[in-house]
Amino acid sequence: MKRLSLLLVLLFWSVVSAEQCLPPKPFKEMENRQDNYPKVADIMPEVTIDGNVPVLVNFWASWCQPCRTELPILDQLAAQGHRIYLINIEDEPAVAKDVLAQLGIVHLTTQIKTFSLLEQMKVLGLPASVVWSDNRVFRGVGRIHELDSLSNWLNCLQQSNVSQ
């Protein structure tokens, strides 16, 4: 009986609500804007969305040093199985590919888009990332600093999506 009680307590505490998943810097939830904000399919039609798995799209450019600094972190997240996508803003494809090779990025590829996409995404600077998770949207403008906190947050979002 004690084992069953302990199991029930552990099960109760293991259920994560979305409110417990606090976003790390630089991410902030875009409250009351989800309906007006582009969906992943609007900018990357080839990306299918599984409602349980958060999708992170990162916007970067070769001339942006903070972008270059965070790309290895994003590559490590992709290696852990997180759904990470890169969109380069207006570099030549060969330049973008060379930057990724120079940085040792092996788990990610990039698409090339124009500056107008940043306006559509309501992003005013680089680097920037957007996370879609269930019916929530988070935007982060500024460099991602820490692998573990971002990985833990994405895992928390996924777990909260499953438990809803």
Give me the catalytic one of 67, 73, 89, 126.
67
**Cβ-proximal residues to 35 (8 Å cutoff; 6+ apart), any chain:** none
DSSP three-state, residue 41: helix
Q: Give catalytic status of residue 64 as yes or no.
A: yes
Give the dihedral sign, CA 118/121/126/128: negative
End-to-end Cα spacing for the chain: 28
Q: Is 70 within 8 Å of 143 (Cβ atoms)? A: yes
Q: Is 54 within 8 Å of 135 (Cβ atoms)? A: no
Give me the catalytic one of 40, 64, 78, 84.
64
Phi and psi dihedrals of 126, rounded to 5?
-120, 150
- Give CA–CA dist 4/136, Å, rounded: 35
Residues known to be catalytic? 64, 67
